[in-house]
Amino acid sequence: MPLANETRRVDDEIEVLAEWVPLAGQDIIELGCGAADLARKLLSRHPDSRLTGVEVDERQHAKNIAAPQAGLHFMTGVAQAIPCADASHDLALMLKSLHHVPVASMAQALHEVARVLRSGGHLYVSEPVFDGALNEVVRLYNDEGVVRAAAQAALDAALHTGHWSQVAERRFELKAAFKDFADFEQRMMRPTYADHRIDDAKLDRVRKAFEPHVRAGGAHFTRPMHVRLLRRLG
């Protein structure tokens, strides 16, 4: 499969995923699934697949299991100790989650993914690029430059372990929209899985950086993304 590094706007990331791997009749695991928005959408289109969402945040996990969906199973756990059997899945998804794994545990997490994938299975890793207007706002309270670079380095290192080959790579832009600053604050600054230690001074500094982007219809950004598709070797 050729590498594709062109940048284009993407409205639905499932479109990118569907270009690369089969999604029908698959055993899929998402690590760090959050609210599992993409997982739910995927299963609505491919109801013959089975998807396991693994989430470390117990509050988000409780919300997930309170909204059941056919084919979707939720578990608590971390990528570096996946609570699943060997060779039990065809596809693993890490959507903006690898950089949340502790840097010292990233290699172990990728080893664990290799363990739970069947031979020939795929790992789809979608990571935000440390760039763009939205990033300039976010970095004022949550600077992820180091961990995002570490995530890419961990993938590079994994390719030398004998478990993986890289079969595709792409950069694109995803839309991100917020009704107003209150919406941004709730969704981005106060997630249930992290404490960004928001005080009045920090909140004011972020608000001043955010407000120039607000228009009549809210604040609209594009988030640059870097996706890599790895294949599990036999």
Helix (H, G, I), strand (E, B) or coil at 81: strand
When the pLDDT of each residue in the chain is averaged and rounded to a whole number, the result is 95
Please, which residues have CB within 8 angstroms of residue 156's CB and are 6 or more apart in sequence?
A: none
CB 96, CB 75: distance < 8 Å: no
Packed helices 145-158 and 106-116: angle between N→C axes, nearest 10 degrees? 50
Please choose, from the candidates 167, 31, 38, the residue with its C-alpha nearest in 3D space to the C-alpha of residue 105.
31
Say how far apart CA 181 and CA 190 lie, in whole Å: 12
What tokens appear for 79 in the block?
């990528």
pLDDT computed for residue 192 by the predictor: 85
More confident residue, 2 or 73: 73
Residue entry with tokens 């070797």? 233
CB 228, CB 94: distance < 8 Å: no
Query: What integer is the mean pLDDT of 190-204?
Result: 94
Say how far apart CA 92 and CA 230 lie, in whole Å: 10
- Count the neighbouring beta carbons within 10 Å of the beta carbon of residue 130: 18
Query: What integer is the mean pLDDT of 189-209?
Result: 95
Q: Is the pLDDT of residue 4 over 50?
A: no
pLDDT computed for residue 9 by the predictor: 86
For 21-56, write each residue's pLDDT tens digit: 999 999 999 999 999 999 999 999 999 999 999 999
Q: From residue 139, how far is each of 46, 67, 70, 143, 196 by CA, in Å?
A: 37, 32, 38, 4, 11
Say how far apart CA 172 and CA 27 lie, in whole Å: 26
Complete DSSP assignment for 43-74: HHH-TTSEEEEEES-HHHHHHHHTS--TTEEE
Q: Is the pLDDT of residue 7 over 80?
A: no
Residue entry with tokens 């997490």? 109
For 75-124, write each residue's pLDDT tens digit: 999 999 999 999 999 999 999 999 999 999 999 999 999 999 999 999 99
Say how far apart CA 36 and CA 18 lie, in whole Å: 17
27-31 vs 89-95, strand pairing mode:
parallel
117-128 vs 218-232, strand pairing mode:
antiparallel
pLDDT computed for residue 3 by the predictor: 42
CATH number attached to the domain at 9-129+143-173+224-232: 3.40.50.150
